[in-house]
Amino acid sequence: MNVAAIQMVSCTRLEDNLRDARALLEEAARGGAELAVLPEYFCVMGHQDTDKLALRETPGEGRIQQFLARAARELQLWIVGGTLPLQASTPERVRNTTLVFDPRGECVARYDKIHLFYFDNGRERFHEGRVIEAGATPVQFDLPSRGGHRWRVGLSVCYDLRFPELYRAHAAAGAELLLVPSAFTHTTGQAHWEVLLRARAVENLAYVLAPAQGGTHENGRRTWGHSMLVDPWGSVLAQRPQGAGVVQGVLDPERLRDVRLQLPALSHRVL
């Protein structure tokens, strides 16, 4: 199955981001992708965290969801919409939500980011919990590919990558592909991004597709980029260091079966 990770350098204006995302999704479709995954915060990188509140949508309604549904239908793609702000239980917060749309334009899965990023090194400070309400439930969905294989896909977002128990839950549920739409900071990404992605692939014997924000944003934030596709042996099959673009590659179900037969570590779990 041909898959695409969309790398962006999102700005503070919703319509500009949607225009750029559409162009990149079209590029992925022209390249033969069946699945295209947008990065975290693809729709906006605000000047401050509370900017998300003005863009929050009700499930099933809103400009961003309409955009994703239409793009999936018109381009005949499975689209994973990075994250967008959805209504939370209080007006002071939003959910940082991944929505999955099938080629009919139907929303078939929703995942609310569970782990909320906090980082303070004295120069940079991030505290997602001030505005975002955490989710609580791991989510997988099934994607029947054109080649006949039904892929089991586990959803996650950015900071989730540091919590291997989430990915083990996906593996226990049969996941063969793990998605990690992200907006890793340059500081933390440079230190840990690739090693964490490859570790999640190796320990779960699964493909990992990780689209990211990658560059210096209008709000001054700098993100690491390096969107990539990793195979179940931990090999990086494709990546893009910085700047907007498409990272494309092929998932091979036979390769997945071979790796899991040669090293059946998932069946050797004790704890």
Could you tell me the pLDDT band of residue 115, with boundaries at 50, 70 and 90?
Answer: very high
C-alpha pair distances (Å), 36 with each of 114, 122, 179, 248: 22, 37, 11, 9
Q: Considering the entire predicted model, what is its pTM?
A: 0.98
In this prediction, residues 55-84 reach a mean pLDDT of: 98
Task: Tally the domains of the chain.
Answer: 1
Three-state DSSP class for residue 165:
helix
Q: Supply the pLDDT for residue 21.
A: 98
The domain of 15 spans: 2-268
Spatial separation of the C-alpha atoms in residues 77 and 234, rounded to whole Å: 26
- The CATH number for 104's domain is 3.60.110.10
| Catalytic sites, residue numbers | 40, 113, 158
Two structure tokens written together for 192: 């840990």
CB 194 within 8 A of CB 182: no
pLDDT tens by residue, 16-60: 999 999 999 999 999 999 999 999 999 999 999 999 999 999 999
pLDDT tens by residue, 194-223: 999 999 999 999 999 999 999 999 999 999
Q: Supply the pLDDT for residue 5.
A: 99
CB 138 within 8 A of CB 110: no
In this prediction, residues 107-136 reach a mean pLDDT of: 97
Spatial separation of the C-alpha atoms in residues 257 and 263, rounded to whole Å: 10
Is the pLDDT at 271 greater than 90? The verdict is: no
| 140: β partners | 154
Can you list the alpha helix ranges (DSSP code H) found in 62-162? 63-75
pLDDT tens by residue, 255-268: 999 999 999 999 99
pLDDT tens by residue, 142-189: 999 999 999 999 999 999 999 999 999 999 999 999 999 999 999 999
Could you tell me the pLDDT band of residue 249, with boundaries at 50, 70 and 90?
Answer: very high
Three-state DSSP class for residue 94:
strand
In this prediction, residues 230-259 reach a mean pLDDT of: 98
Is the pLDDT at 100 greater than 90? The verdict is: yes
